[in-house]
Chains A and B, each alone.
Chain A
């Protein structure tokens, strides 16, 4: 039987790769180091699979098809949007579990779209490269399962549905006959404005509010945030707290701990790192 053994809530900031030296030295060391800490802690969880929840940035999907949520059930590579220091590569997968999650959802009210051969963008590729790959390099075999939700392009997935989707992932993992040890990674946020006149603004108060909900496992509070409130206080990029909501929904009742946080204007984002404990 499968089990969710832990979770992480992390940013996927491409600007870290484009202008790595822009922030003050202590800040950039802390932020890159926070990814290293996540990798260390992931290694200690002895995971067999990670489910990384990202959001499309209008790269993967165009106006012809905008899925509310989609899971990669076959081959995976990425990123689609190659960055300095982040070249495209094949990403190890957990195809059996991914297919099981999709099938279990289809039988229980969650009509997953599936990607059989998926080139993910930086939303999944960054945490996979910075958190999971270092653990693989130690000899642990971990497959990545990419999930994308509609947080960057409207119509946005409802917050309530994002939490429910996390519950569907949990239910599927626990129904899996194999002894999978699964870690969920909510990849996104926190406050940032992408391509808007406010780009570069960071709202530390909003970031602290969201991290507080994550650390206290307050699904009702995060699920109760309106889109207008999130857009006003967290920006269009702040809609990515939906990925955090999915991960939190997969671990109801879990408490969290802030690994690190900094509002980094040079990287246009409030970068928060939280570990969720099963």
Chain B
């Protein structure tokens, strides 16, 4: 597992508009530029934020990655992806900067 490369990609997908656009239009082409395993690529394209955190990726990056790029950017969707289905219940609090 390459936490470092994952974090590099996550950071770019948080702050770099051109990288975010490329990810949206051609994710496979973008990810081919990074030294990631097939499993890691699947985590990125599948928005597996829980899996990435288990592999040591900084939670601020997984939150930013989700907030900037996920199809459903709502904090509740992020928490559901992170915690599992149980998180869908009740009020959700988020430090995400966009809702």
To the question of whether A and B form a pair in one complex, the answer is yes
How many chain A residues touch B (Cβ–Cβ < 8 Å)? 28
| Given A63-B7, A194-B63, A58 contacting B58 (CB threshold 8 A) | yes
B92 at the binding interface (Cβ < 8 Å): yes
A192 at the binding interface (Cβ < 8 Å): yes
Complex Cα–Cα for A192 and B21 (A): 31
Which residues of chain B have C-beta atoms less than 8 A from A229's C-beta?
A: none
Chain B residue at minimal CB-CB distance from A201: B93
Which residues of chain B have C-beta atoms less than 8 A from A197's C-beta?
A: 50, 79, 82-83, 87
Q: Which of B7, B58, B94 interacts with A199 by CB under 8 Å?
A: B94
Chain B residue at minimal CB-CB distance from A81: B97
B14 at the binding interface (Cβ < 8 Å): yes
Which residues of chain A have C-beta atoms less than 8 A from B97's C-beta?
A: 14, 18, 81, 83
Q: Chain A interface secondary structure, helix, strand, loop or mixed?
A: loop
B22 at the binding interface (Cβ < 8 Å): no
Contact residues, A46-70 vs B (CB, 8 A)? 57-59, 62-64
Complex Cα–Cα for A197 and B84 (A): 10
Query: CB-defined interface of A148-182 with B at 8 Å, one 1/0 digit per residue?
Result: 00001110000000000000000000000000000
Which residues of chain B have C-beta atoms less than 8 A from A236's C-beta?
A: 59-60
Which residues of chain A have C-beta atoms less than 8 A from B45's C-beta?
A: none
A15 and B94 form a contact (CB under 8 A)? yes
Contact residues, A9-54 vs B (CB, 8 A)? 14-15, 18-19
Residue numbers of A with Cβ under 8 A of B are 14-15, 18-19, 57-59, 62-64, 81, 83, 152-154, 192, 194-197, 199-200, 236-237, 265-268
Can you list 28 A-B pairs, Cβ within 8 angstroms, ordered by A? A18-B99, A58-B7, A58-B11, A58-B58, A58-B61, A59-B15, A59-B64, A62-B11, A62-B12, A62-B15, A63-B4, A63-B7, A63-B11, A152-B58, A153-B58, A192-B95, A194-B59, A194-B63, A194-B95, A195-B64, A196-B82, A197-B83, A197-B87, A199-B94, A200-B93, A200-B94, A268-B94, A268-B95
